[in-house]
Amino acid sequence: MREIRRYRVESEIGRGGMAVVYLARQLDLDRYVALKELAGLHAADATATLRFLHEARLAGSLNHSNIVTVYEYFEHGGIPYMAMEFLPRGSLRPLVGLLSLAQVIGVLDGILAGLAHADEHRIVHRDLKPENVMRSDDGGVKIADFGIAKAHDEIATANLTPAGEFVGAPAYVSPEQVLGSAATAASDLYAIGVIAFELLTGEVPFAGHGSPSALLIRKVNERPPLLRSRRPDLDRGLVDWVDHLLEREPGKRPSNPQSVRESLEDVAERVIGPRWRREAALPAGPPAHDPIEVPAAPPHRFASMRTLRTHARPAALVTNALSRRANLSVAAGVAVAAALLTPWLFAVAAAAYLALALITFFDEAEAAQIRRRA
């Protein structure tokens, strides 16, 4: 296995246009991480290197429960790397079209919480899509890959993306990004609208309209189809919420992730109820990547006798029941003999004999039942 500084690479778990992600083990802390490497880097490709390092610095400055944690970034052999939190459940993509309304709202709420935190630091993601939304072990989501994010006020990064080009997935990128305008928080919220549309209908707006270029042309010149045309059963408030995010002109679109999140919560409380979060956790499902084998926990030492008997072998239970009956028989016999030697204890002997008869009856019934189960 290849080692990169203090990380041992175990397998490749993802590949994009600019980077490769490996599952690696951090040797000094004995933990798994997602190690991101700038793939195909050439010495002359200084722009790609700057973009990658810029991503690492921005993502590393964000600390939120709905954002993938970045541990460190470094260069090795002239290639930049970034070590990130490893989430074995994988991305949101396999669950698209399979979630309940409460789960869909829970996903959108988690993404908006992460975006609101990034917005406080003046950071825009610019490439939101289900592949960049990771599932956490607690049933929530975390935003990954602020790889093409940029701080609003950093003029130095203005030349990292060539003029006239946009960066992002065609289905999720906003119309203004297609036209070469700077991405803003409103651009990320447009992507949220596309993700919401897809989660509720199973497909993105403008799906099946030819090549990516044709999709982009339609996105710039046409308004997306209304959600009600695909899901007339949905609550009007939720439909309006999604349609508002998909406004073609950024000036008509919301621009504050926190306010959008609050309005979504109002919809959830009205449609599902005040305890909607109890139904919002994502299903665990099989992990996308799980190299860690967790041994089964041994029985708790303070487990009840009923629990232990349930897991015991039937033959042993029969033996135990008969042994207990024999012991009680001896004890009752001793009591009868003592009573015969002492006339005034005759009543005690009679009671002991009756107890022996009852114990024998119930033990024989229990042993017979155990044999039938075996």
**Crossing angle for the helix pair 101-120 and 185-201, to the nearest 10 degrees:** 170
From the candidates 109, 119, 127, 188, which is the catalytic residue?
127
Structure tokens at 356: 């022996």
Structure tokens at 240: 């309006």
Phi, psi (5° rounding) for residue 153? -95, 5
Phi, psi (5° rounding) for residue 124? -115, 140
Tokens 């016999």 appear where? 333
Residues with Cβ within 8 Å of 359's Cβ and at least 6 positions away in sequence, in order, are 325, 328
| DSSP conformation letters of 190-217 | HHHHHHHHHHHHSS-TTTTSSSHHHHHH
Q: Which long-range contacts (CB under 8 A, 24 or more apart) does 286-293 make?
A: 287/88, 287/89, 287/90, 288/13, 288/88, 288/89, 288/90, 288/91, 288/94, 289/11, 289/13, 289/23, 289/86, 289/88, 289/90, 290/88, 291/10, 291/11, 291/23, 291/32, 292/32, 292/88
Structure tokens at 275: 């305890």
Q: Does the annotation mark 127 as catalytic?
A: yes
Q: Just list the catalytic residues.
A: 127
